[in-house]
Amino acid sequence: MKIVISPAKSLDLESKLPVSNYSESQFLDQSQQLNKALREQKPSDLSNLMHISEKLADLNWQRNQDWNLPFNQENARQAVFMFSGDVYTGLDAYSLSQNDINTMQSSLRILSGLYGILKPLDLIQPYRLEMGTKFGVDGAKNLYEFWKETITNQLNEELSDNELFVNLASNEYFKAVNTKKIKVPIVAPVFKDWKNDKLKIISFYAKKARGSMSRYLIENNAKTIDDVKGFMVDGYVFSEEYTTNENEPVFVR
């Protein structure tokens, strides 16, 4: 089983870590290349580039200046315990058992504008660089061009033949994967809520549900699409009626 999720803009730098072990991102050379280009951006440049406030631009300008290799437990933090936000609320990695953390480390992958693709326990330093940012480096027009081949090749290298591959990332991030080259079928669950007598995707709820499903798949060591369909958390249940594509199972509440 492999699961991909998005990172988060909000970061947790304070909560006590439940584990001491960590791993290292495979693409730190590329991350360093991006950081070098980011360091050259003034706060006003970052504000315009990322459409963020002056205060956030100042914060992230400082983060870019402070970013430095090598990473260690004093200057960096495991990715899954740094990202917060709705997906990570649903995942709640802090309360996973050690066995489930081991499963998460082998199964879950986080797509990232700065780091490309991360294992949960990969050390990272604070940053802000969304995948959709129109930031060109090394001849690439944007981050999709910069990362697509690297991310796609890495996923294919890790995926076994016929292995379950579940996309729980946002559209913005999954566009960094060349889906035509992925060697196994992609299962992409959809979460919908009834509102005003209409069934619709509500972003806040869908994000949390993607995290909750990630946790469910990890805890149950899911192997098949039928395992995915067994997800029943926070009132969501698989709906055969509203599922029109087998690889895009719809969950309704």
Q: How many domains does the chain have?
A: 1
Distance CA 163, CA 253 (A): 29
Is 227 within the bounds of a domain?
Answer: no
CB 128 within 8 A of CB 29: no
The model's confidence at residue 23, banded by pLDDT at 50, 70 and 90, is: very high
Q: What is the pLDDT confidence band of residue 34, given thresholds at 50, 70 and 90? A: very high
Tokens, residue 145: 């061009």
Residue 233 maps to a domain? no
Q: Is residue 9 part of a domain?
A: yes
Q: What is the mean pLDDT of residues 17-37?
A: 97
Is residue 226 a part of any domain in this protein? no
Q: Residue 37: its pLDDT value, please?
A: 97
Quick check: 59 pLDDT over 90? yes
Domain interval for residue 44: 2-188
Per-residue HEC secondary structure of the chain comes to CEEEECCCCCECCCCCCCCCCCECCCCHHHHHHHHHHHHCCCHHHHHHHHCCCHHHHHHHHHHHHHCCCCCCCCCCEEHHHHECCHHHHHHCHHHCCHHHHHHHHHHEEEEECCCEEECCCEEECCCCCCCCCCCCECCECCHHHHHHHHHHHHHHHHCCCCCCEEECCCHHHHCCCCHHHCCCCCECCEEEEEECCEEECCHHHHHHHHHHHHHHHHHCCCCCHHHHHCCCCCCCEECCCCCCCCCCCEEEC
Looking at the chain, the whole-number percentage of residues with pLDDT higher than 90 is 99
Strand pairing partners for 155? none
pLDDT at 139: 92
Supply the pLDDT for residue 138. Answer: 87
For residue 213, is it within any domain?
A: no
pLDDT score of 164 more than 90: yes
Assess if residue 238 is contained within a domain. Answer: no
Is 84 within the bounds of a domain? yes
Percent of the chain with pLDDT over 70: 100
Q: Which of 109, 46, 49, 47 lies closest to 83 in space, CA to CA?
A: 109
CB atoms within 10 A of CB 41: 18
- Asked if pLDDT for residue 143 goes beyond 90, the answer is yes
Residue 12 included in any domain: yes
Whole-model pTM: value is 0.97
